[in-house]
Amino acid sequence: MFGIAWGIVSIVLMVAAGEGLRKGQAEQARNLGKDVMIVFHGRTSLQAGGMHAGRVIHWEDEDVQVVQSESPDCEYAIPELEQDTVRTHSNYNNAALTVTGSYPPFGYIRTLDVGQGRFYDWDDMREARRVAFLGSDAAKQLFPGRNPVGENVYLNDFPYTVIGVMAKKKQDSSYDGWDVNKVFLPFTAMKRDFPDKPPGTNTTFDQLLVTPRSVSQHEACKREVRVALARMHRYDPNDKEACPIWDTVQEAQAFKTMTDGMKFFLGAVGIVTLLLGGIGVMNVMLVAVRERTREIGVRKAIGAPAGTILRQFFMEALIIALLSGGIGLGIAFGFCALVNLLPMPDFFAGLIPSWSSGLTAAGLLGAIAVGAALYPARRAASIDPIEALRYEAGG
């Protein structure tokens, strides 16, 4: 009985832990960006088109439109330009913050949820308005105890009107610092007031952010981006040093494969435990059949059919197995609920028991219960009444 209960608990808890880890990591990946690929510029490592290896590549403004038009499997391809040396202050405090400029879809791609006000839009872009969207911690530092929306923040003494503040965001990975400590500007205003630092020029930027139209298209999207940029900058499209890409989609798929393998392995351990519990129930019932041999003989001697004996022992074993499984399910789901009341680390969403794992465990339990009950029941039904009485008398 304990073996079956423990097997059920093992299956549910192990699968719940794997699902909690998967969901926690998926949420962290979503906080970095929605299926985003960050395309950095690098240095060529292969000769191509008569050009020597070792050239430094810089992305140009014209690359954005070319990549977008020549990459049908990509949904977005937007530039990002950053500066970490901009003097930043408000009328109340100073701060050392990263200033970054991009297109309006940047807020969606990088999961910059709005807590107050709004994110910059295409009108802000077209008119190169001096408007700013603040990270949550940046807003607290620049405007302690105040509502920043509508206030001015000064970037190298240029006055920018705060139009929004980001909602609090948990983030465990980044390519350029935490979003909560940034100031976000329209790309046109960023280029005018804070252009790329040398050896960059007024027409270069730091990186491209690319998203596929669907997860299944991400490899095609990545290949199209490499080919388009290689043609624009005359390097070999297979030269990954010239165009390093941080592919968060690929990382998420690799992590999912790992967590799925972990869930299957831990689930298999639980199934083995459940099988051993079923064998334990069968052994208990076989002992019961032996101890009740005389009772079985008397009942058969006064006319009880073999089917009645079989049903009796079958139902007894089935009840034991199902009761054990029910107790195990109750313990497992109750334990998950209690653990989830505790604070969890950002990368772990808690123990998430799924109905699929519960139903799978219940189905396995039913099959094992039938197997554990059937053999002892048939053994009891096949006992010869005379031999049973003689055995008991001689025992």
Hunting for tokens 């027409």 — which residue is that? 203
> In terms of C-beta density within 10 A (0-12 exposed, 13-18 middle, 19 or more buried), how is residue 270 classed?
buried
Residues of the chain with pLDDT > 70, as a percent, come to 84
Q: Pick 390 or 10 by higher pLDDT.
A: 10
Angle separating helix axes 293-301 and 248-291, nearest 10 degrees: 70
Mean pLDDT confidence for 188-194 = 96
Highest mean pLDDT among 52-66, 168-182, 293-307, 313-327: 52-66
User: Are the C-beta atoms of 9 and 334 separated by less than 8 Å?
Assistant: no
What is 290-331 written as a DSSP string? HHTHHHHHHHHHTT--HHHHHHHHHHHHHHHHHHHHHHHHHH
Average pLDDT, the chain: 83
pLDDT of residue 173: 64
pLDDT of residue 345: 73
CB proximity list for 101: less than 8 A, separation 6 or greater: 80, 81, 82, 184, 185, 186, 187, 188, 189, 190, 191, 194
| 257-290: pLDDT as tens digits | 777 777 777 777 767 776 776 677 677 767 777 7
pLDDT of residue 388: 61
pLDDT of residue 87: 94
Burial 213-234, CB ≥16 within 10 A → b, else e: beeebbebbbebbbebbbebbe
Main-chain phi, psi angles of 354, to 5 degrees: -105, 150
| 308-367: pLDDT as tens digits | 877 777 777 677 777 877 787 888 888 888 888 888 776 677 788 776 766 677 677 667
Domain spans, the chain: 2-28+252-394, 35-247
Lowest-pLDDT choice from 4-8, 123-127, 149-153: 4-8
Peptide bond into 199 cis (omega under 30): yes
Three-class SS state of 352: coil
pLDDT of residue 393: 41
Hunting for tokens 């989609």 — which residue is that? 249
- Name which of 315, 310, 290 is nearest 300 in CA terms: 310
User: Are the C-beta atoms of 107 and 164 separated by less than 8 Å?
Assistant: no
pLDDT of residue 395: 47
The one-letter code for the residue type at 298 is: V
User: Are the C-beta atoms of 79 and 187 separated by less than 8 Å?
Assistant: yes
Mean pLDDT confidence for 295-317 = 74
Give yes or no for residue 196 having a pLDDT over 60.
Answer: yes
Strand 131-134 versus strand 74-83 pairing type: unpaired
Helix (H) or strand (E) holding 77: strand 74-83
pLDDT of residue 30: 61
Supply the pTM of this predicted model.
0.69
- Name which of 290, 268, 272 is nearest 387 in CA terms: 290
Q: Pick 99 or 303 by higher pLDDT.
A: 99
What is 126-187 written as a DSSP string? HTT--EEEE-HHHHHHHSTTS--TT-EEEETTEEEEEEEEEPP---S--SSS-GGGEEEEEH
CB proximity list for 333: less than 8 A, separation 6 or greater: 12, 353, 358
User: Are the C-beta atoms of 230 and 23 separated by less than 8 Å?
Assistant: no
Mean pLDDT confidence for 139-163 = 95
CB proximity list for 341: less than 8 A, separation 6 or greater: none
116 pLDDT band, cuts 50/70/90, is very high
User: Are the C-beta atoms of 182 and 138 separated by less than 8 Å?
Assistant: yes
Q: How far apart are CA 96 and CA 94, in angstroms?
A: 7
Give yes or no for residue 31 having a pLDDT over 60.
Answer: no
